[in-house]
């Protein structure tokens, strides 16, 4: 049984963590496979939206601590670590650099690395019985995969500090109230809600959606004046695209647009 499943249909790629017996904990082999899969769907011209989810009762319970305790795997005593990492080959940076929108369908709880993985997605749809557990300091580590970057930006310094320093667990209601979850629905409706949102996004002009995400990401580190200039430069090729012509024509003709991504 594959620990990671990727299926593409109707311009939507669904990536499923598939170790339900281990609550979808991430092994070192899964990290490599997840990176390759994210790169592949981002480069696939047929894919317009990505859904990341899990099987069983958890989305992802973090890194595989059993593997680490055996001396092997991530954090294992027998594992040698280089002084630096290749940022092109780590799931958090690959996920952050993706131009395709990514929806996290939290079928269950996420802890540690799983929480960071969820925060790295653009949109989170969460089961009402799911939780986010920032248990890093309780295990003797830091939020190693983006949490220290995402949470202060999403929540502000003080709230992020409280969650990270205490290793607090947040309920689905907490996540919705704080803006960490876009929607909270019954567990049996998570997949359908994520799919419906993915279909809504996929129906739009894909080049414009990709450009919008790219501009949002660039804007995190730019002055307003610089950002306006970059947006203008991004508009020029979009004005020349077939999709722009189709968008205008479909509006004038009062019909749904049929975008082709060119």
Q: What is the DSSP string of 80-117?
A: ---SS--GGG-HHHHHHH--S-EEEEESSEEETHHHHH
pLDDT value, residue 215 = 93
Closest CA to 246 of 237, 257, 235: 257
Give CA separation, 119 vs 89, 150, 166, 229, 231, in Å. 19, 7, 18, 29, 25
Please give the pLDDT value at position 152: 94
Half-sphere exposure of 51 (CA within 13 A, CB side): 31
Radius of gyration of the chain (CA): 19
Residue given tokens 């969650």 in the structure block: 163
| Predicted pLDDT at 127 | 97
* CA nearest neighbour of 206 among 122, 100, 104: 100
Q: Looking at residue 21, what DSSP letter applies?
A: G
Q: pLDDT value at position 28?
A: 85
Q: What is the pLDDT of residue 2?
A: 87
Three-state SS for 170-204 is: EEHHHHHHHCCCCEEECHHHHHHHHHHHHHHHHCC
Beta bridge partners of 105: 53, 125
| pLDDT tens-digit profile, the chain (262 residues) | 789 999 999 999 999 999 999 999 988 888 889 999 999 999 999 999 999 999 999 999 988 877 655 555 555 555 565 655 565 667 788 999 999 999 999 999 999 899 999 999 999 999 999 999 988 777 777 776 788 899 999 999 999 999 999 988 999 999 999 999 999 999 999 999 999 999 999 999 999 999 999 999 999 989 999 999 999 999 999 999 999 999 999 999 999 999 998 9
* pLDDT for position 69: 53
What is the strand order of the sheet 131-133 is part of? Answer: 58-60, 109-111, 131-133, 169-171
Name the pTM for this structure.
0.89
C-alpha distances (whole Å) from 204 to each of 55, 198, 249 are: 29, 10, 14
pLDDT, residue 60, reads 93
Collapsed DSSP state (helix, strand, coil) of residue 52? strand
């Amino acid at each position: 049984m594959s620990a990671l499943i990727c299926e593409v249909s109707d311009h939507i790629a669904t990536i499923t963590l598939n170790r339900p017996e281990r609550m979808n904990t991430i092994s070192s082999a899964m990290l490599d496979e997840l990176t390759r899969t994210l790169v592949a769907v981002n480069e696939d011209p047929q894919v317009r939206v990505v859904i990341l989810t899990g099987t069983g009762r958890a989305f992802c319970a973090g890194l595989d601590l059993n593997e680490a305790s055996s001396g092997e795997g991530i954090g294992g005593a027998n594992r040698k670590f280089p002084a630096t990492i290749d940022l092109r080959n780590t799931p958090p940076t690959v996920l952050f650099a993706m131009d395709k929108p990514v929806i996290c369908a939290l079928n269950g709880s996420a802890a540690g690395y799983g929480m960071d993985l969820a925060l790295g997605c653009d949109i989170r749809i969460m089961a009402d019985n799911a939780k986010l557990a920032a248990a890093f300091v309780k295990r003797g580590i830091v939020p190693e995969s983006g949490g220290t970057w995402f949470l202060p930006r999403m929540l502000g310094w003080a709230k992020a500090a409280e969650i990270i320093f205490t290793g607090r667990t947040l309920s689905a209601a907490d996540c919705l109230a704080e803006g960490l979850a876009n929607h909270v629905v019954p567990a049996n409706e998570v997949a359908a809600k994520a799919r419906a949102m993915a279909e809504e996004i996929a129906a739009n002009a894909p080049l414009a959606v990709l450009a919008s995400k790219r501009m949002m990401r660039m804007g995190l580190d730019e002055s307003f004046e610089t950002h306006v200039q970059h947006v203008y430069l991004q508009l020029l090729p979009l004005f020349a695209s077939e999709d722009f012509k189709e968008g205008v024509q479909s509006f004038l003709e009062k019909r749904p647009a049929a975008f082709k991504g060119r």
